[in-house]
Structures are given as C-alpha cells and as structure tokens.
C-alpha cells in the first residue's frame, strides 16, 4: 500500500514530509512542493476552500482533544484516474499531528481535461467536493464526467476554475466523525 506522510506542529506548521509525499506531489504536477519549499509553512496555504479548512480544523481539534487517531476516506483524482484513499490523523507529542494518506485503490479512466493542472482556465467557477470529487450542478452533486458532459466542457475552450467545498453527504459524514467520541 502506498503511503504519503507529513507532520504538523501545534501551530499547524508543516514540520516533516516523506519522500513519497514529495514524489506524489511531483507526479501530480504540483510544482514548488519540494521538502524545502513546504517545511515551516502553514498547512493552510495548501488547503483550498473555507469549508475544507473548517473540517480539517475540526478534525485536528478532535484528534488533539481525544488523543486518538481518526481516519477519513477521500478521493485524490488525477485527470486519468480515480484514487480512493484514506487519511489517518494521529496525535504526536506537544499537540503535533501526523497525517498519513494511503492509496487504497486506483481506477483508470479516460482523461478529463478539467482536472489537468496545465489547462487554460476561464473566469467561470465550479465547486468540487474536496472529499468525494463530485461537482456541484444546479441539479445536485455529480461525478466529474457527468459534469463535463452536462456543461459541454469539450474542445479547445478554457476550462472553468475549480473551487473546493463539500457536498452535503460528505459534510454529514465528516461532522459525524469529528463529533463522535475519541476512537469512534
């Protein structure tokens, strides 16, 4: 099982990143995420969306308060794959935390240009759930391929920018997790 690890201190400053974490960032087109570029910086510089940051804050507080690890499923999709992962947040000394992401399974798919890091972006904004990677449309949250088809996002036109939020289903699941007793 592939594991990507980093640790933050009590002030949520990044204090370590594993070589596998750096390699995964490079593989996914994230330039400027070398070890020396992230150590000492606030984690929040790398977390998009106010709702996502709010859930992480609540998750970190629950782990620090209960002194027991908590795990959450999430997706970390690439343009040509769906990645099903699990994040485990564990307490360390002095209110520091270790975050371990594990790749549970990966499914190939036809490339989705909207998820590419190198594509031209328009001023249009689409909301994507930070956890399940579904996209918000007027009719509800749908898989990215359905959003692309529904919105006609094919061809040479610039792709919309992606903002990160949270769908209702993931919000309920995360709220249950952070409100559950430690170890629950």
Average pLDDT, the chain: 89
Cβ neighbors of 16 (< 8 A, separation 6 or more) are 5, 6, 7, 39
pLDDT digit string, tens, across residues 136-172: 999 999 999 999 999 988 767 889 999 988 999 999 9
Q: What is the pLDDT of residue 35?
A: 78
Sign, CA dihedral 63-66-71-72, equals: negative
Tell me which of 3-7, 77-81, 104-108, 112-116 is least confident.
Answer: 112-116
Q: How far is CA 136 from the centre of its chain?
A: 16
Percent of the chain with pLDDT over 90: 61
Residue of 49, 52, 43 whose CA lies nearest to 14? 43
pTM value > 0.95: no
Q: How far is residue 26's CA from residue 118's CA, in Å, rounded to a whole number?
A: 13
């Amino acid at each position: 099982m592939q594991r990507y690890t980093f640790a933050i201190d009590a002030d949520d400053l990044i204090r370590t990143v594993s070589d596998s974490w750096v390699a995964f960032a490079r593989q996914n087109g994230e330039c400027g995420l070398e070890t020396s570029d992230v150590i000492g910086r606030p984690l929040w510089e790398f977390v998009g969306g106010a709702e996502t940051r709010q859930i992480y804050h609540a998750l970190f507080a629950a782990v620090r308060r209960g002194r027991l690890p908590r795990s959450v499923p999430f997706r970390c999709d690439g343009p040509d794959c769906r990645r099903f992962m699990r994040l485990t947040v564990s307490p360390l000394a002095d209110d520091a935390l270790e975050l371990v992401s594990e790749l549970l399974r990966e499914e190939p798919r036809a490339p989705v240009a909207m998820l590419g890091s190198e594509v031209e972006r328009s001023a249009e904004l689409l909301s994507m759930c930070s956890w399940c990677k579904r996209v918000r449309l007027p009719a509800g949250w749908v898989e990215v391929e359905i959003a692309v088809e529904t919105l006609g996002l094919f061809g040479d036109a610039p792709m919309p920018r992606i903002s990160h939020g949270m769908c209702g289903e993931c919000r309920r699941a995360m709220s249950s997790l952070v409100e559950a007793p430690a170890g629950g």
